[in-house]
Every structure is written in structure tokens, then in C-alpha cells.
Amino acid sequence: MKLTADEAGRADKVLAKHYPAAGRKQLGELFDAGEVKLRGKKAKKGDMCAVGDELELTLEPVSKEALRPLPDPSIALEILVERSDFVVINKPSGVPTQPLKAGELGTVANALAAKFPECATIGADPRDGGLVHRLDIGTSGLLVAARTAEAYRTLRDAFGKGGISKEYLAITDGAPVSREMDAPLAQRGTHVAIDHTDGLAAHTMFQPQKANGEYALIRCIATTGRMHQVRAHLAFANAPLTGDTLYKGKPLEGHPGFFLHAHKMQLPLGDGTTLELVAPLPARFTAALAACGMT
């Protein structure tokens, strides 16, 4: 589109005027993915557009309703807790948490929409499907989804304020050189990096459970919930997840992927009580432990 006098300004605000139903989050992701071009070059949200400039969108945004997860009963859910207000599952490795585009299937959110139809309409992001937090595709373990709007607000608030204790088990290349990490993190495309200027606050504690020199089993306690937080902090502590090639982890022969499992969580119920959650280790994790000599 060639911009007129009343369209000049910040690139993100220009697009928001043209696509009011898309939402800020979706438009921001299009910028991050390089789908927005200004004067033929990749644009940033804060770039200023002048009259006559060409602003190009290589991928059209869709309405919020189109992004809601479609039911997909082919994805099996291991349900650990089922209540009228929320549900807790043990997510398998290799399954995405939620769809990234309209009509996508094969995610946890799709499975929730099939099993608990009310979840499909719950969430600040239409793709949430009731989920109040996320896990990476390669991470297994505890995942919580709200079944009511009130539960969604309460649980999201608890996660956002660091009111939920989350413990992960990780197989790493060697043991961390520190017992905790508070380096701030900033997204850089498909990964995150330590950024002491613009990064978001992040804190992870490490407690070695087993080690044999080459590998270690680490209990990781995350008090914040940043993208790839545990993965990046372990890598910065000189102990990347085994198999996590994005963060310089070495592949484990015969055992693809990395090994990070959301094992325990203390979930506040809003009435002053706390629900203790534990997700059993998947077979692929225990097999990897054996392959690393840590059974």
C-alpha cells in the first residue's frame, strides 16, 4: 500500500488502522516474522512511515475469531486433574501448545477444544484455548487450562505475578557453573538472548540431582515465565540441555530432541489452599537418562 497524508506515522499504528480486527499481538508477530516491509526492507514496529512510502504486508492477518482453535480429537490428552473451573494435563514432547495460524490442527489447544468445548472461547489471545501458560514444543509436563473466564483471569494473574512455583527436570551437558541465574532475556527471532539493557527480568534456580561428568540431571525452579527461560539460562550457565541444538546442546544419539519436563507445580486455588501437581516422567525422558548413564 502507498501511504497517503492521513496514514503517515509509526508502521504498527498504520497497520492497526488497516486491520482493526487483527489485534496488536498478531500484528506484532507479523513484524517479528519479517512479514512487514517498508520501502522494500524488513520493517520494525516503531519505524516511521512518510507520505508516499510503500508499506507491504506479505502475510495477511486474520480476524480474532478465525484464530480460535478448532476441535481436534485425534490428539490424546493425559488428564491429571479435571475440575469444573480448570483442567491440568501432562503434555507430551513434540506437540505444540497452541496453533500459530488460522485452521491449524495438532496442538494441545485443539485437543482441549474437542474434549472441553468451552475452552475454545477462553483467553486473552484467541489461540489460547483456555491455556493460562505455555510450554515449548519440545518440553513435556504440566500444562493448565481454564474452563471458565473467571478461572482464566485468576490463574493468569497468579502466573503473571510469579505466584506459582514451577519445577522442571532437565538433562544437561555437564552441570551448571552456578546455582541460580537472573540474567534478563530478550527475544531474538526463534531464540532468546541475555540482554542487560532491554531484556525482561527472569530468574531460575538450579539444583543438581545426579551427575557423571558428561551429563547431569538438574532440578530447575523458575520463578518467572519467559520464553525459553530455562533453556537459555542453562546454556548461559555452561550446561545446555542435552539435544537442544538451538542453545548449543549436543545431540544424544538415538534420542532426538532435548529433555526438559515441567515436573511439579503449586497451584493456588483462590480459597487460600494450594494444589500440589506432579507430572510423571515420560518414557523418552527415562530412556534418555539411561542412555546418559544416570538411572
φ/ψ of 211, rounded to 5, equals -160, 150
- Radius of gyration for the alpha carbons in the chain, expressed in angstroms and rounded: 21
Q: Which residues contact 92 (CB under 8 A, 6 or more apart)?
A: 78, 140, 282
Place of cell 485443539: 110
Active-site choice (72, 136, 173, 244): 136
DSSP letter for 178, please.
Answer: S
157 carries an active-site annotation: no
φ/ψ of 11, rounded to 5, equals -60, -40
φ/ψ of 188, rounded to 5, equals -130, 80
Work out the burial of residue 171: count CB atoms within 10 Å of its CB; fewer than 13 is exposed, 13-18 middle, 19 or more buried: buried
DSSP letter for 247, please.
Answer: G
Angle formed by the axes of helices 24-32 and 11-18, nearest 10°: 130
How far does the chain reach from its first CA to its final CA, in angstroms?
Answer: 60
Any idea which residues carry the catalytic annotation? 136
